[in-house]
Amino acid sequence: MRTEIQKGFGDPGNAREYRDIKITTKRQLTIPKAFFDYLGIEETVHAYLLDDAILIKPAQKRSVQEVDIEKIIRNVLNEGYSGDALAEEIACRIKQYNELVDRRIGEFLNDMTSDAVPDDQGEVEFNGLDIFFDEEDGKTSETNQEKGS
């Protein structure tokens, strides 16, 4: 792990940007906004004490898909599957999950890209983007800007 942490760290020539950061009397420091934004730091960082430095890395949040797959695995285990049946059931449920996600994404994209069409009562459906863009040129609608003001 030590080699992995130090990889690319020892040579300041690899630095994208350099800044001096003041430390308060309470031993606190503020990460510059540009650094914070560039690394996508959210709520937590990991701090590693090296021989001559402190390495601060953003904590990576788990994706929704990772959380969902973990739930699938826990459910299958709680249902008592084991051995080959466990592997087959997990693979089957993950496949079903991926198919569901793909179908939902397809439905969403279809809804967002389809032209507004009158429904049974002759009213035009609202696709959520109509208020922001003119249909002809895709630019922000001036009349819609006035409505939002």
In this structure, is residue 127 part of a structural domain? no
Summarize pLDDT for 69-102 with one digit per residue, the tens.
Answer: 999 999 999 999 999 999 999 999 999 999 999 9
39 — pLDDT class (breaks 50, 70, 90): confident
Q: Is residue 123 part of a domain?
A: no
Q: CA geometry: angle at 58 spanning 54 and 64, to 5°? A: 155
The reply to whether 106 falls in a domain is yes
pLDDT per residue as tens digits for the range 3-21: 455 555 556 667 778 889 9
Tell me the sheet residues that pair with 46.
57
Q: At what angle do helices 83-113 and 64-78 cross, to 10 degrees?
A: 140
Residue 148 reports pLDDT greater than 70: no
Model confidence at 135, pLDDT cuts 50, 70, 90, reads: low
- As a whole number of Å, the end-to-end CA separation of the chain is 55
Please indicate, yes or no, if residue 119 is contained in any of the structural domains.
no
Q: What does each C-alpha distance from 108 to 43, 51, 100, 132, 140 come to in angstroms?
A: 30, 51, 12, 18, 22
Same domain, 76 and 98: yes
Domain that holds residue 14: 9-58
pTM listed for this prediction: 0.42
Same domain, 79 and 107: yes
Q: How many domains does the chain have?
A: 2
Nearest by Cα to 69 from 112, 98, 47, 45: 98
| Contact assessment for residue 127 and residue 114, using Cβ atoms and an 8 Å cutoff | yes
Whether residues 107 and 76 share a domain: the answer is: yes
d(CA 29, CA 20): 11
pLDDT-based confidence at residue 144 (cuts at 50, 70, 90): very low
Q: What is the mean pLDDT of residues 35-55?
A: 87
Of 84 and 39, the structure prediction assigns the larger pLDDT to: 84
Residue with tokens 């929704």, as numbered in its chain? 64
What mean pLDDT do residues 46-56 have?
A: 88
Residue 75 lies in a domain: yes
Looking at residue 112, its amino acid is: M
Question: pLDDT-derived band of residue 64, with 50, 70 and 90 as boundaries?
Answer: confident
Query: 38 with 70, same domain?
Result: no
